[in-house]
Each structure stands twice: as C-alpha cells, then as structure tokens.
Structure 1
C-alpha cells in the first residue's frame, strides 16, 4: 500500500475555499448527527519551550469512514520570521485496517478549513445584505478569511486594522489585485469597526481588542484568533450582548478564552451558547432572529474539520494524480 504525502502548495491547489466551505458544512452536520467522534485536544506546554504542541484526533463514520490526527505546533514568534505560526501534519488512517493513508501539510489545511468554517457560520448568521467587512489582523488567517467572506457575501468594502499600520497597508496592497471592492488600511480597530456589519478577528491578542460600544447593531462577528483559555479578542460586554454560536460546546467551555473569561466575570454561562453551527445547519436550533441582533461565532477549530478536509483531499489527489505516493 502507498501513502500519500501532500505539500503546502498541493493542499492549496486541491482545496479552494469554495469547495472547502461545502466540505465544512458536511463535517459540522456529521458532528451534529452523531456521525463523528472527537475528544478534546491535548496540549503539551513545556515550561521552557518557545511554542506548544497540540494533538487533535477524530473519527468519521459512514461510507467514507476514517480516523484522523492533526499534530500541530503553535509558535507565536513565527510570523516575525516569515513563517505561519501553525506547523505540523494531518494524518489520515484507514477505518478498516488502521493503515496510514496520507500525511498532509497542516498549516495549509488549518488556514483553509478555519476560514471555510467561518464562511459557513457567516452564511448562516450574517444579514443577507451584510457588505462592510472589518478585518482585524493581517496574517495567514486574515488572507484566507478575506477569501471566505467574499465567497458568502457581496462585500463592498473591507477595512483592515493590524498591530502595525504598515502590515495593514502591505496586506491591502497584496490582496487588492484579487478583489474588486475597496481594501482600506486603518490605524485602529475602532476605525475598522465603524459601520461594519461583518467583523473577523484573526489576531494573537491576549487582552480584548474589540469593545462592545464599537460594534454596530445587526453585525456578525467571527472570533478566530484566540484558542486558549487565557486569551481573548473581545471584552465581556461584547460576549454578553451577542447571540453566541460555536463549533463545539464541549470545546468552547473548556478551551475558549473569549467564553471562559467572560464567564469568569459572571456575565455569561453555558446557557448563553445558543447553538453549535451544525445544529443550525440541521434546523434544530435557530440562527439569527432579527436584523438588529448581534451574532457571534466563536471559532476554536476542531479535529473533525481537519479529518473531513484530509479525507476530501485524499480523494481529490487520487482523482487528479497529485502528490507524492510512497511505500510506507
């Protein structure tokens, strides 16, 4: 048996954002239907290390049953070196024999599937006429999220705020050639949020960078940057004011700093989570209920998303005869 190895470039070629959005809908529906299994991720944080390592296993049942494991290192200092902060591999295993079917670049899968899940959430929860995007951050996830937002809504304008205005300017210049709408770098997060009805945060912030009073009525927010219990991108007042949707309840109440720190302030609890995205897709739980409602999707990124992406990539690589196939 041969094992497939897919590079960063090959993953990007085989998994365009539009197709990945459809794959992520399927993954979240499978989770809601009970056709997928995943425990909480395991994080290794050595006290003297510059980064952390996460292990994210999952299983999908059905006609395309498979096991998957993402082994991912997160190094916050990498962007300063011109590298993605997320480095690792996604492994795909046969559900029949346990044989290793594929090893794929995790940086590329993470960048695409995270934005695609935000695309699914935005399509479900944002107002149909939402068109003014505030993009907070200018790294890998900002790039993929700009693609995803443009896929599900007709964007008129995107304002970009970053820790350094030069980064926002460089981002706007780089991405301008791919989009017909205006890309406007701004000095502050508050400026970016003025009049925005779509908000995406993709930062490494530890303390809140978004305040409730800056958010317009009827806006939809995707919070992407924070994935640990002690970091957050929005303040507690924002969490309390918004209708909260998540990828997985269990993961949110154990791992999401935006939720946990607001809960620690006593302003929200588990009942504040209206639904998982899969439950809204199924029609079991309501999404947006009024044009003035503020909706918020807290993205953590979960293992079943990586597994569905990997299984799709494996099939596509076979069809197109792409990748390196090696005896293992």
Structure 2
C-alpha cells in the first residue's frame, strides 16, 4: 500500500468523514471526503474510467503518496477509505473509491473564540432537548457536581476545584467539565457578591471541557468551558421558556449586563418573538455598553433603563442574570402571565418563588457536595462554600442543609418529555429555576461543538497518542 498515489480534487470534496494528510512542508492539512447521497452505486468500469481521467489532469490537484501520509508513523493509525465523486467525466452517477490508507488518530483542540464563531443558540437548544429526552429514557447518565475547596496560597479567598461529568449513548461520548478557581466573596451594596479571580498567567481563568469516546475510550476534544458555559445555561433557560412563556410574549426584562446576560438575551429572542428588551444593571456605563453590543445581534429594540422597576414595566419575561447571592427579583413583580428565569436561586428568593403558579426546576439535586479542607472528609451539601465556611468546622456538619420547599417541582426533562405540563393558560405566572448546572449540558453542547468544528474545519489537531499509554492503568 505504501507508495500508491491518492488523488483528491479539493473543490469537489464534500463534508463527511475526516482524513488527515502530511504534506511536504510538514504540516497537517485537513481534507474532507464525503459520500454524496445520490451517488452511492459504484460501477467498476466507471470507477476505472474516472480514475484514469483524474490521473491525466493533475495540474490543479493535490497529489500525495501514502508514504508521505505515513511519514508520521510514530502514532497509532486507523484505516480510512477515501471517496471522491465521479463527476461528469464518464457520464455515470457513481463514486470512485481509492485505496485504503492508514491515518493517525487525532484529538481536536479548540479555543473559545473558535467556538463562539460557529456555535449557535439554535444548535445548543436542539442538542439539549435531545439530551434531556435521552436522559429521561435512560440513554444518558449524569454525575452530579462536586466542589473541592481549600485555602488559596496566593490570594485572599479560597481555591476551588469543581467537576461534573455525563455520558450520552448518541453520540457515544462522555464529557468532563472542570474549573480550577480562586474565589472571593464580598459585600457590595448590601449584597454578597461571589467573584472569581483571574489569577492564572495573563490574568486569565481556568475552565476546561474534555470529550471522550465511549467506543474506544480515547480523548476526542478539549476546549475552554467559557463559551459553552454561557451557552448551555442560556439555552436551558430558553428551552424552558419555549414551554412556559406565553406565545405572544414580546417584552423581555434583563437584570444584569455581564456574561450570562449576553447569552440569555439572544436565547430568549430565539424562542419568542421579542420586540423590546429592557436592560438594567447598577453600573450605567456597563448597561449602555451592553445595549450597544446586543443591538447588533438581535432584531428587537434593546434599551437601557435607570432602575430595575422600570425594566419590569410591561415585561412578559424576566431574566435575572446577575452574580448576586441575595434577592434581586421582588415578589411584587410576579403578576399574571409573567415568566421568570434566573442563573442563581438566591436572585429570586423564597418569597418570589412562592408566588409562582407553575414552577419547573433544572434538577432534583439540591446543591453540590463541598469537600472543604479542615471540615472533614465527607461532602457537605451547599450551593456555595461560603455558607459552610461561615459556620465553621464545628457547626457545619451539625446543621444539615434543609431541602427547599420547591425541590419536588418537576424537572426540565419532565417538561421536555411531556410528563410535566407546560403553561396552562395566558394568566399563569411561570418560572424556570436554574438551581444547579449539570454535566449533561456539557455533554450535549460539547458534542454539538465537536460536530460543528469538524464540519467547518475549525480547531487544531494533535496526535491522540500523546494521551494514551501502554502501561496498564
């Protein structure tokens, strides 16, 4: 097989299975070889004619030898058949199958910027809806989030390592999401604000998603979690709004002008015909900058307002997207026909939640288990480690965290599968309580990221073998 030539017309290659070749300059060049749906019948005579035709016209074509492809033979390889459409050279509808060659297994590395360039809200919503249904059918598994917390050696605050995982049958992947954070809590305007400190080199944060194949066990991709994080939260909120918000909802109130606000606004516009968006956040410069940015991304009129109360005026949907650990949504704002969503439970508070007619929560897992240095070796349930740390080691375990009154409400997967009713009428007040993030979201959206990246030729390849071993683990 070595030395046999393979001819590919770059402008005729369709999206499909991926092949990788090593050119003379030593760089990987991604090529896509696909099978056209209506050209699956192969005719031997036609294939032979087409092959000879292609050999005779190589002026504008790339010609590689299998030896060139195998010059990177340090890595495990897998056989891949290369197909190219026959075209009009022989007058038949067929495919030419070229000799099977061995290609190196690769792992895809992506950046936030690359993901943001191709990942859409619609793709995320579709991937999540499918995943929630699979979970309900027993065709997906989710492992709840856990947090490991210890004193930070370099910053005031704590070090926190957060992880969550999930697996899907279709596509056959497992996703692991981790965060390695320096965290501070501070009082601000009578509220407790949780802040992640960008303490990594270059004043950056650390959050990663890794995808693994459940067919071979090999790693498939790795990328920062930032864009996926904001998209999966907003897409889950939008998916819930599809079932809970009024069909004629036209005015959206956004509280906050940060990372999550920037994804929730277009997400809500994706599931309802939003005509006006009222944006409030405490810092005028921030909300005005946010409005200018968002006005370029949605068809709705986006305008800044000077108070939260003004943002609520005529609002059909309220999205609280702040980093506050105390209430920001007043119970007085709950009125007939309204739909509420949040990114943190404390943003709403018990009083507001109790006034809701129909409540759906993300998961029946109340809170992550926190493993805190100096507090014993068993996990302690809490939404935020500061609640445990304030009590001190002696009292933290004595006073168990009470499960909130809303914990028995239907989950989002119940809503998606129809086991829980959506909005019953136009007068109901509804709410999606985004009480905790789950690994299933990262598996679903991560799989969509991998699929889109492959179809668009995004990312950087590295040999999978760098992450494999011959030693029995």
Report TM bin, short chain: 0.7 to 0.9
Which has the larger displacement, 132-141 or 65-74?
65-74
User: Does the C-alpha gap of structure 1 residues 266 and 91 become closer, same or farther in structure 2, counting only changes over 3 Å?
Assistant: closer
1:207-258 residue CA offsets vs partner (Å, 9 max, x unmatched): 10111112332111111145xxxxx10121111111221222124696658x
Gaps of 5+ in 2: 1-104, 184-194, 369-380, 388-400, 467-473
Looking at structure 1, the residues matched to 415 and 298 of structure 2 have their Cα atoms a distance apart, in angstroms, of: 30
What displacement does 1:195 show?
Answer: 2.1
Q: Say which of 45, 54, 59 aligns to 2:162.
A: 54
CA contact (8 A) 2:163 2:179 kept: yes
User: Does the C-alpha gap of structure 1 residues 112 and 239 become closer, same or farther in structure 2, counting only changes over 3 Å?
Assistant: same
Looking at structure 2, the residues matched to 296 and 84 of structure 1 have their Cα atoms a distance apart, in angstroms, of: 37
Residue in structure 2 matched with residue 322 of structure 1 by the alignment: 458
The structure in which a higher percent of residues are helix is 1
Residue in structure 1 matched with residue 440 of structure 2 by the alignment: 304
- What's the RMSD between the two structures over aligned residues? 2.7
Residue in structure 2 matched with residue 6 of structure 1 by the alignment: 110
Looking at structure 1, the residues matched to 423 and 214 of structure 2 have their Cα atoms a distance apart, in angstroms, of: 38
Looking at structure 1, the residues matched to 137 and 404 of structure 2 have their Cα atoms a distance apart, in angstroms, of: 31
What displacement does 1:178 show?
Answer: 2.6
Residue in structure 2 matched with residue 178 of structure 1 by the alignment: 297
User: Does the C-alpha gap of structure 1 residues 35 and 20 become closer, same or farther in structure 2, counting only changes over 3 Å?
Assistant: same
Residue in structure 2 matched with residue 207 of structure 1 by the alignment: 326
Q: Say which of 131, 139, 145 aligns to 1:41.
A: 145
Residue in structure 2 matched with residue 188 of structure 1 by the alignment: 307
SS in 2 for 1:141: helix
User: Does the C-alpha gap of structure 1 residues 276 and 193 become closer, same or farther in structure 2, counting only changes over 3 Å?
Assistant: same
Looking at structure 1, the residues matched to 242 and 333 of structure 2 have their Cα atoms a distance apart, in angstroms, of: 23
Residue in structure 1 matched with residue 413 of structure 2 by the alignment: 278
CA contact (8 A) 2:234 2:264 kept: yes
Which has the larger displacement, 47-56 or 128-137?
47-56
1:265-320 residue CA offsets vs partner (Å, 9 max, x unmatched): 9983433x1x1121112111111122221111112321111011112222222222
1:21-80 residue CA offsets vs partner (Å, 9 max, x unmatched): 111111111122221111211112223445533101111124x2211100124552459x
Asked if 1:95 corresponds to 2:211, the answer is no
Looking at structure 2, the residues matched to 250 and 50 of structure 1 have their Cα atoms a distance apart, in angstroms, of: 24
SS in 1 for 2:248: coil
Looking at structure 1, the residues matched to 418 and 443 of structure 2 have their Cα atoms a distance apart, in angstroms, of: 24
User: Does the C-alpha gap of structure 1 residues 269 and 8 become closer, same or farther in structure 2, counting only changes over 3 Å?
Assistant: closer
Looking at structure 2, the residues matched to 166 and 173 of structure 1 have their Cα atoms a distance apart, in angstroms, of: 11
User: Does the C-alpha gap of structure 1 residues 96 and 251 become closer, same or farther in structure 2, counting only changes over 3 Å?
Assistant: farther
SS in 1 for 2:150: coil
Residue in structure 2 matched with residue 293 of structure 1 by the alignment: 428
Asked if 1:15 corresponds to 2:119, the answer is yes
CA contact (8 A) 1:197 1:216 kept: no
Aligned length: 314
What displacement does 1:177 show?
Answer: 2.5
Looking at structure 2, the residues matched to 78 and 138 of structure 1 have their Cα atoms a distance apart, in angstroms, of: 19
Residue in structure 2 matched with residue 250 of structure 1 by the alignment: 365
SS in 2 for 1:250: coil
Looking at structure 2, the residues matched to 24 and 71 of structure 1 have their Cα atoms a distance apart, in angstroms, of: 19
Output aligned runs, 1:217-232, within 5 Å. Answer: 217-225=336-344, 232=346
Which has the larger displacement, 49-58 or 86-95?
49-58
Looking at structure 1, the residues matched to 130 and 364 of structure 2 have their Cα atoms a distance apart, in angstroms, of: 18
Looking at structure 1, the residues matched to 203 and 123 of structure 2 have their Cα atoms a distance apart, in angstroms, of: 23
Residue in structure 1 matched with residue 63 of structure 2 by the alignment: none
User: Does the C-alpha gap of structure 1 residues 204 and 84 become closer, same or farther in structure 2, counting only changes over 3 Å?
Assistant: farther
Q: Structure 2 length as normaliser, TM-score?
A: 0.62
What displacement does 1:115 show?
Answer: 1.0
Q: Say which of 11, 25, 32 aligns to 2:136.
A: 32
Q: Structure 1 length as normaliser, TM-score?
A: 0.87
The structure in which a higher percent of residues are strand is 2
SS in 2 for 1:46: strand
User: Does the C-alpha gap of structure 1 residues 84 and 305 become closer, same or farther in structure 2, counting only changes over 3 Å?
Assistant: farther
CA contact (8 A) 1:196 1:215 kept: no
